[in-house]
């Protein structure tokens, strides 16, 4: 009787089939994770909050995720800004990032009056009161770093943005350093960092955060 070659023995092939399937699935999962790791780390930024300038929206020690881009940041977004080249912030380190709320963009005029923010949006003539349920304290003028004057009005030039911290009484923001540059925005904080615990997003965001936490651990 001619003995079958070992690799052609149908009985042994049958026994090894499920093991090979599991191996292929395992390899596929590893590849998918590595691809996801590459794509995620290139798109998302993890930041730890230091300070009280964004209370009560964000607190000292909070761990947040932001999308890495600046071109599509809109008014009302909470953004991460690189202020390493601004002397006022340089005492805090070589690379300094701040988290503020984007209030106005190029062409807008911002005016502080009676503890509130008024804006004339680009291309319009009507000045409106900015509704800010997130703001803590009065939005009073603060001494500008260059001359110590209490400036109350700014018209933003091309590429400029105006930012404020939600905690208006302690925040160093555009009232102190003036308008910043849009291309200094390095990330926009994702909305699901602040989901309503009663809403549907409360179920999805923990899974998203868990995945991003794993990505951060391996990156």
Q: Is residue 10 part of a domain?
A: no
The answer to whether residue 43 is domain-embedded is no
Provide the domain count of the chain: 1
pLDDT of 111 over the 80 cut: yes
State pLDDT tens for residues 121-152: 999 999 999 999 999 999 999 999 888 899 99
Tokens representing residue 15 in the block = 């026994």
What are the C-alpha distances in Å from 47 to residues 84, 128, 183, 188, 209?
16, 33, 19, 11, 13
β partners of residue 52: none
Say which CATH number the domain at 102 has: 2.10.109.10
Confirm whether 40 is domain-assigned.
Answer: no
Residue 146 lies in a domain: yes
Q: Which domain, by its residues, includes 171?
A: 51-194
Q: Kindly give the residue spans of alpha helices, DSSP state H, lying in the chain.
A: 10-43, 174-177, 201-218
Q: What local confidence, expressed as pLDDT, does residue 134 receive?
A: 95
**Looking at the domain assignment, is residue 31 inside a domain?**
no
Strand order, beta sheet including 116-120 = 127-129, 116-120, 109-113, 153-155
Residues forming a β-bridge with 67: 44, 188
Q: Identify whether 25 is part of a domain.
A: no
Could you report the per-residue pLDDT of 176-210, keeping only the tens digit for each?
Answer: 999 999 999 999 998 777 655 555 555 556 666 66
In a domain, 102, yes or no: yes
Condensed to tens digits (0 to 9), the pLDDT of residues 58-96 reads 999 888 888 887 678 999 999 999 999 888 887 666 678
Residue 144 lies in a domain: yes
Question: Residue 106, class by beta-carbon neighbours within 10 Å (0-12 exposed, 13-18 middle, 19+ buried)?
Answer: middle
Classify 163 as helix, strand or coil: strand
Q: How many CA atoms lie within 13 A of 211 on its CB side?
A: 13
Catalytic site positions: 53, 100
DSSP-derived secondary structure letter, 95? S
| Count helices and strands in the chain by DSSP H and E runs | 3, 11
């Amino acid at each position: 009787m001619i003995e079958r070659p070992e690799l052609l023995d149908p009985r042994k092939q049958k026994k090894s089939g499920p093991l090979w399937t599991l191996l292929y699935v395992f390899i596929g999962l590893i590849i998918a994770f590595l691809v996801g790791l590459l794509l995620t780390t290139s798109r998302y930024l993890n930041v730890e909050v230091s300070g009280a300038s964004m209370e009560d929206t964000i607190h000292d020690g909070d761990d947040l995720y932001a999308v890495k881009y600046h071109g599509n940041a809109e008014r009302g977004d909470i953004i991460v800004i690189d202020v390493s080249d601004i002397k006022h912030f340089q005492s805090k380190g070589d690379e300094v990032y701040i988290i503020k709320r984007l209030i106005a963009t190029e062409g807008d005029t911002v005016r502080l009056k009676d503890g509130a923010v008024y804006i004339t949006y680009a291309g319009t003539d009507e000045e409106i009161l900015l509704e800010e349920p997130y703001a803590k304290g009065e939005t009073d003028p603060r001494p500008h770093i260059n001359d110590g004057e209490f400036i109350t009005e700014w018209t933003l030039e091309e590429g400029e943005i105006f930012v404020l911290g939600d905690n208006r009484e302690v925040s160093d923001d555009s009232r102190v350093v003036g308008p910043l540059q849009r291309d200094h925005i390095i990330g926009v904080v994702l909305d699901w960092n602040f989901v309503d615990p009663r809403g549907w997003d409360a179920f999805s965001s923990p899974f998203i955060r868990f995945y991003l936490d794993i990505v951060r651990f391996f990156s």
